[in-house]
Amino acid sequence: MISDLFSVTVLVGILASGIRLATPYLYAAIGETFSQRSGVLNLGVEGQMLLGAFAAFYVTLTTGNLWLGLMTAMLVGALMGLAMAYVTVNLQAQQGISGIGFYLFGLGMSDLLFQKLMGTVETVKGFPKIHIPGLSDIPGIGEIFFSQNILVYGAYLLVPIAWFVLNKTTLGLKIRSVGENPDAADSLGVNVGRIRYFTIILGGILSGVAGASLSIALLNVFQQNMTSGQGFIAVALVYFGAWRPTGVLGGALLFSLINALQLWVQVLNIPVPSEIAVMMPYVLTILVLVTSVSKVRAPSALSKPFEREN
């Protein structure tokens, strides 16, 4: 039976599934990468995703306009980011705890709105698969790479963009310095608070898109708590990826591909207990993490509020 795993159908299936499953992780984790690189630990990602997912879904359901839905999710994420930024930058709150606060807020709020505004699970027509004549029809490759929806492509496009912004722009330089040594950045006239506002809000927007990618692109339903901890896994992926967009991509793909593989292992009736199968993505990802020696440390100022001593 194990030999069944090595057929073209299965391989194509795993790759296509893995690419899709990684999509929300990528948005959320790249957003988190930005905020962590600037020294802010945002544990509210899950809450932002949930509210984003709801906002996108509800607006799409009522207006029929997917782009409006997506933009609403971004707006909702931005607003949550703004609130988070106020609490962490101005009030200098303990970031871990306030992040959990924002998670609970997003969880509760999305649920409440769902109850009041919808009342039952419904479906929408989400972003369609993009059909690229010619390319989409190539057997295998076409299904994996050329017939996904636009938000999937967006997630992968985001990786090089994030890399570029962080490493090649003056903004990226400021972000990195603020997360590493805010005193030094401050002494050179960099506005530490403003940079952190920017990254937290950006993180919020991307988390909102992550939620939208579930509710109006990949699944096209909204259900309470539908993100199911993905926001927290996204935070973990930032650590896995050593705070680099490419590392995050690697982690997200690894985790998702193993998850897709795991689904196939069960479907093909390969005699592995289901409890073991569903643990595989977690176990293998941790295994890769501990065996690959990486010298990269967390940004030195991560989760430390900045205050000019006075």
Footprint on residues 177-216 left by other proteins (CB under 8 A)? 177, 180-181, 183-191, 214
User: Which span (65-73, 113-121, 132-140, 153-161) binds other proteins, by CB under 8 A?
Assistant: 113-121
Task: Tell which positions 247-276 bind other proteins, by CB under 8 A.
Answer: 259-260, 263-264, 266-269, 273-275
Q: How far apart are CA 257 and CA 296, in angstroms?
A: 25
Q: Which of 279, 283, 286, 287 binds other proteins (CB under 8 A)?
A: 279
User: Which span (130-138, 223-231, 246-254, 283-291) binds other proteins, by CB under 8 A?
Assistant: 223-231
Helix, strand, or coil here: 191? Answer: coil
Residue 185 CA to its chain's centroid (Å): 28
Is residue 107 a contact residue for other proteins (CB under 8 A)?
yes
Q: Which of 2, 62, 64, 97 binds other proteins (CB under 8 A)?
A: 97
Q: Which of 71, 82, 219, 272 binds other proteins (CB under 8 A)?
A: 219
Cβ atoms 63, 125 nearer than 8 A:
no
User: Which span (56-64, 105-113, 130-138, 196-204) binds other proteins, by CB under 8 A?
Assistant: 105-113
Is residue 155 a contact residue for other proteins (CB under 8 A)?
no
Q: What angle do CA 142, 163, 39 make, to 5 degrees?
A: 130
H, E, C per residue of 243-279: CCHHHHHHHHHHHHHHHHHHHHHHHCCCCCCHHHHHH
Q: How far apart are CA 244 and CA 250, in angstroms?
A: 10
Q: How far apart are CA 288 and CA 291, in angstroms?
A: 5
Structure-block tokens of residue 43: 């544990």
Question: Least separation, in Å, of the C-beta of 63 and other proteins?
Answer: 20
Residue 271 CA to its chain's centroid (Å): 33
Taking CB under 8 A as the rule, which mask of x and - marks residues 30-59 in contact with other proteins? ------------------------------
User: Which span (63-71, 72-80, 96-104, 285-293) binds other proteins, by CB under 8 A?
Assistant: 96-104
